[in-house]
Amino acid sequence: MKVLVAVKRVVDYNVKVRVKADNSGVDLANVKMSMNPFCEIAVEEAVRLKEKGVATEIVAVAVGPTAAQEQLRTALALGADRAILVETADELNSLAVAKALKAVVDKEQPQLVILGKQAIDSDNNQTGQMLAALTGYAQGTFASKVEVAGDKLNVTREIDGGLQTVALNLPAIVTTDLRLNEPRYASLPNIMKAKKKPLETVTPDALGVSTASTTKTLKVEAPAARSAGIKVKSVAELVEKLKNEAKVI
């Protein structure tokens, strides 16, 4: 089956972000950018499905700026066969991204679309579910295990109370959680080979997709800082403070 995997370019997870002085957003100038960690898990799962002989072709898709080609090249180095960039300089909301992905799904007709459950910049946790709504496909979100069984997909999901398993009709949408797999690193020969793999660029306009948004960010602020407290010398002192000073036990 053909597998589509979505990747997002985000600030690297090791970067400690700072809010801009004018409160217009987060300062991303000269900051290291990477593939969103949940998207790395999505790519890895697609590659494993191909290694098992379940997936026949992996198409990596990004919706973002020209520079998102870097993340698509990473996906190609990890094992994707070809890539599509829906190029836009605007910062799109999840619904617009889902609409762009829907247009690509219509064209490519994959049996399975794998996305990260959330991006670590906007922390929205929406795109996969929205894509499922727009395509009318079943969704297996927060997946910790994915198994193709005939014409069904069994997805084990991480839920608040533990784990839940659902059986989905194919085609289906899956979003990844942390325990689905441990992504590999791209090898140098594969990074070199990835440079020759096809990467196609389209625009939302060419796909006939509206990027209109119903949400406006008015300001972005640093959170209220929590100041460090005191160090206690012993367990006895800790208990005394919790009982008499903080009064929480």
Partner 1 sequence: MAILVVAEHENGAVAPATLNTVAAAAKIGGDIHVLVAGQNVGGVAEAAAKIAGVAKVLVADNAAYAHALPENVAPLVAELGKGCSHVLAPATTNGKNILPRVAALLDVDQISEIIAVESVDTFKRPIYAGNAIATVQSSAAVKVITVRTTGFDAVAAEGGSAAVEAVGSVHDAGKSAFVGEELAKSDRPELTAAKIVVSGGRGMGNGDNFKHLYALADKLGAAVGASRAAVDAGFVPNDMQVGQTGKIVAPQLYIAVGISGAIQHLAGMKDSKVIVAINKDEEAPIFQVADYGLVADLFEAVPELEKLV
Site residues for partner 1, 83-142, by CB under 8 A, read 93-95, 98, 117-118, 120-134, 136-139, 141-142
Residues 61-80 that bind partner 1 (CB under 8 A): none
Q: Which is nearer to partner 1, 130 or 199 (CB)?
A: 130
Single out the residue of 21, 29, 188, 246 in contact with partner 1 (rule: CB under 8 A): 246
Query: Which one of 15-23, 40-48, 60-68, 74-82 is the stretch in contact with partner 1 (CB under 8 A)?
Result: 15-23
Question: Cα–Cα–Cα angle for 97, 134, 76, nearest 5°?
Answer: 45
Considering the rule CB under 8 A, would residue 196 count as an interface residue with partner 1?
A: no
Single out the residue of 5, 11, 59, 101 in contact with partner 1 (rule: CB under 8 A): 11
162: left (phi over 0), alpha (psi -120 to 50) or beta: left
Q: Which is nearer to partner 1, 131 or 186 (CB)?
A: 131
Single out the residue of 2, 82, 145, 179 in contact with partner 1 (rule: CB under 8 A): 179
Please report the sign of the dihedral spanned by the C-alpha atoms of residue 6, residue 11, residue 13, residue 18.
negative
Q: Does residue 11 sit in helix, strand or coil?
A: strand
Residues 213-232 that bind partner 1 (CB under 8 A): 213-223, 226, 228-232
Collect all residues with Cβ–Cβ distance below 8 Å to 79 and sequence separation of at least 6: 43, 46, 47, 50, 58, 190
Contact 41, 6 (CB under 8 A): no
Q: Which is nearer to partner 1, 57 or 147 (CB)?
A: 147
Q: Which is nearer to partner 1, 101 or 199 (CB)?
A: 101
Other beta carbons less than 10 A from residue 90's beta carbon:
11
Question: Tokens for 41?
Answer: 């898990």
d(CA 178, CA 193): 28
Considering the rule CB under 8 A, would residue 162 count as an interface residue with partner 1?
A: yes
Question: Tokens for 230?
Answer: 């005191």
Single out the residue of 103, 167, 191, 207 in contact with partner 1 (rule: CB under 8 A): 167
- Counting residues that bind partner 1 (by CB under 8 A) gives 78
Q: Beta 2-6 vs 112-116: how paired, if at all?
A: parallel
Considering the rule CB under 8 A, would residue 24 count as an interface residue with partner 1?
A: no
